[in-house]
């Protein structure tokens, strides 16, 4: 299958991003044609400093390569390096009723969070996202449950364009991971809330964090009353979150992890979670350290990625222009 996914450049990747999505995306590249995009245009919906955005974009490339994205098997590129994204987004805008965008769940949530900066880009984000996807004619888009609504809008816009101007676009499927593969990692301090890098640092664990900090954060993670290491998200959300983390990192079923730590108590279990995380993340941190000193190499990977992405996107865009009726040069 051809697959497309993206990630914004701002903020350090945390274990929620990695275990819930990118670990799977690394695995998908071995048997699929994958396009992985650093979405710097989307990052502009909140204020950015120019020099920091450029550096964050390069840093995100380092992170993705460090976790195993392989430019020999995947196309890694920066969104703004392919101008067709914004061109197609404008065309799709003319097919998108305003009411549909105002009903998008993420727009409602972000409007509450960023009351001082409810810009048009925040509203229009899903249309640009649809353009991101449709340009590459993918079969599937790996997403979490919170992004299914955006993929459904993408499918609807593909239908509308095809019906209005003539068939070009595929209607990509939302590839939602099985529950055990893409389980949500929750906040270490509020385990009823999804882990987010926009929250205070002690609520999440960056995958490249210092080992001492990882130990401290796990040790201070919120748990629950009682002593049993048992999975029950409703009654024991804190310990259930740590069980989920251990299960995904160790690649063992939660029931097997429960059995392993039966009657051992919270402190030994937390120590084991920290040690396992540190062991698994250590090679990624080592790889990141090496890549950070190879800027020329990194820029060449992104240049080649942009070349490959443009080759596909420009063919799609040329056909879209012809279907719409734009005068050809």
Structure tokens at 102: 């105002």
DSSP structural state of residue 327: P
pLDDT at 12: 87
Nearest to 25 by CA among 79, 67, 87: 67
> Is residue 170 annotated as part of the catalytic site, yes or no?
no
Instruction: State which H helix or E strand residue 173 sits in.
Output: strand 173-176
Structure tokens at 222: 């919120």
3-state SS of 128-166?
HHHHHHHCCCCCEEEECHHHHHHHHHHHHHHHHHHHHHC
Pick the CATH number of 2-176+295-324 from 3.90.1150.10, 3.30.465.10, 3.40.50.10470, 3.40.50.620: 3.40.50.620
pLDDT at 110: 76
pLDDT at 101: 92
Contact 153, 100 (CB under 8 A): yes
Contact 317, 88 (CB under 8 A): yes
Contact 193, 184 (CB under 8 A): no
For domain 201-289, the question of CATH label 1.10.240.10 is answered with yes
pLDDT at 227: 86
pLDDT at 140: 94
Specify the pTM.
0.91
Give ∠ CA 74-77-79 in degrees, rounded to 5: 135
Q: How far is CA 290 from CA 10, 22, 239, 294, 324, in A?
A: 21, 20, 35, 7, 48
- Write down the catalytic residue from 194, 215, 260, 280: 194
Convert 314-328 to b/e letters by CB count within 10 Å (16 or more is b).
eebbeebbebeeeee
Structure tokens at 113: 């969070």
Convert 20-49 to b/e letters by CB count within 10 Å (16 or more is b).
bbbbbbbebbeebbbbbbbbbbbbebbeee
pLDDT at 178: 67
* Domain extents in the chain: 2-176+295-324, 201-289
Q: What is the DSSP string of 275-311?
A: HHHHHHHHHHHHHHHHHTT-HHHHHHHHHHHHHHHHH
Instruction: State which H helix or E strand residue 312 sits in.
Output: helix 295-324
- Write down the catalytic residue from 197, 264, 288, 323: 197
pLDDT at 184: 83
> Is residue 197 annotated as part of the catalytic site, yes or no?
yes
- Write down the catalytic residue from 23, 110, 217, 236: 110
Contact 204, 190 (CB under 8 A): no
Distance between CA atoms of residues 80 and 6, nearest Å: 12
Same fold, 2-176+295-324 and 201-289: no
3-state SS of 235-255?
CEHHHHHHHHHHHHHHCCCHH
**Maximum pairwise Cα distance, the chain:** 74
Distance between CA atoms of residues 18 and 154, nearest Å: 25
> Is residue 145 annotated as part of the catalytic site, yes or no?
no
Instruction: State which H helix or E strand residue 174 sits in.
Output: strand 173-176
**Running along the chain, 329 residues long, what does each successive block of 10 average in pLDDT?**
94 90 92 97 92 95 97 97 98 95 84 78 94 97 87 97 98 80 82 89 94 96 90 93 94 94 92 97 96 96 98 98 94
């Amino acid at each position: 299958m051809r697959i497309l996914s993206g990630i914004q450049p701002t903020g350090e990747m945390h274990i929620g991003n990695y275990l819930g999505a990118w670990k799977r995306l690394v695995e998908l590249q071995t048997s699929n044609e994958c396009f992985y995009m650093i979405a710097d245009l989307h990052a502009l919906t909140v204020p950015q400093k120019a020099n920091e955005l450029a550096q964050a974009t390069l840093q995100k490339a380092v992170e993705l390569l460090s976790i195993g994205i392989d430019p020999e098997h995947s196309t890694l590129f920066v969104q703004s390096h392919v101008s067709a994204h914004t061109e197609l987004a404008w065309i799709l805008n003319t097919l998108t009723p305003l009411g549909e965008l105002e009903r998008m769940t993420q727009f409602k949530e972000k409007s509450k969070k960023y009351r001082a900066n409810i810009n048009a880009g925040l509203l229009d984000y899903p249309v640009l996202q649809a353009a991101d996807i449709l340009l590459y004619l993918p079969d599937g888009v790996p997403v979490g449950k919170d992004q299914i609504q955006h993929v459904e809008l993408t499918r609807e816009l593909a239908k509308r364009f095809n019906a209005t101007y003539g068939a070009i676009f595929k209607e990509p499927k939302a590839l939602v991971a099985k529950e055990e593969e893409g389980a949500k990692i929750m906040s270490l301090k509020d385990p009823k809330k999804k882990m987010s890098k926009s929250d205070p640092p002690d609520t999440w664990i960056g995958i490249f964090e210092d080992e001492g900090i990882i130990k401290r954060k796990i040790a201070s993670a919120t748990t629950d009353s009682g002593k049993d290491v048992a999975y029950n998200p409703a009654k024991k959300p804190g310990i259930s979150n740590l069980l989920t983390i251990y299960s995904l990192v160790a690649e063992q079923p939660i029931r097997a992890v429960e059995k392993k730590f039966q009657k051992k108590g919270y402190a030994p279990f937390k120590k084991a979670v920290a040690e396992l995380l540190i062991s698994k993340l250590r090679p990624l941190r080592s790889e990141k350290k090496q890549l950070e000193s190879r800027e020329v190499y990194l820029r060449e990977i992104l240049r080649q990625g942009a070349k490959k992405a443009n080759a596909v996107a420009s063919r799609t865009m040329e056909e879209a222009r012809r279907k719409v009726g734009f005068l050809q040069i």
